[in-house]
Structure 1
C-alpha cells in the first residue's frame, strides 16, 4: 500500500539527515585542518557536496511540509510564523 503524503517523516529520515550533517561537519573540520593530501581533499570535497545536497533536499522537504501544515489549500502563499519576540 502506498504511503500517504501527509504522514509524518519516519524517524529514520531525521536520523539520516542528522548523520549526514554530522559527517559533513567532520569533513569540513578535517579539511580545514590542512593535513589531507590533495587526493584526499578532493574526495572529501566530493563527499561533502553529496552530503550538502542530501541535507538541502531534506530541508526543502521539511519546509514544504511546514507550508502544507500552515495552509493546506495554498502552500505557495502560506506565511511562516515569526518566532521573534519584540
Structure 2
C-alpha cells in the first residue's frame, strides 16, 4: 500500500472537482487522458500522486490548461517555507 501525500490528496480532490464540474465519468476522463480508469480512481482517492506527465494528460482530458491544474494542486498544499525550515532545521547548540 502506498503512503498518501498532501500533494497527492489535494491533486485527487482538485481533479475530481473538475471532472464533476464537467459532468464526466472516470471512464470518459480516462479515455480522453489516455490513462486507465483505475489510475484515475487511485489519483482521485489520493492513493497515487500523479506525475507531471499524468497531470498534463489529465488536464488534456479535462480540456484545461495543464499549468492552471498544476497551480490549483500546489496552491496552499505545502507549508510556508519558513515553517518548513523551522521544522526541519537541526537544533542549534
Same-fold call, TM cutoff 0.5? no
Higher normalized contact order (CA 8 Å, seq sep 6+, divided by chain length) = 2
Greater Rg, structure 1 or structure 2? 1
Q: What is the TM-score when the length of structure 1 is the normalising length?
A: 0.32
TM-score between both structures, scaled by the size of structure 2: 0.30
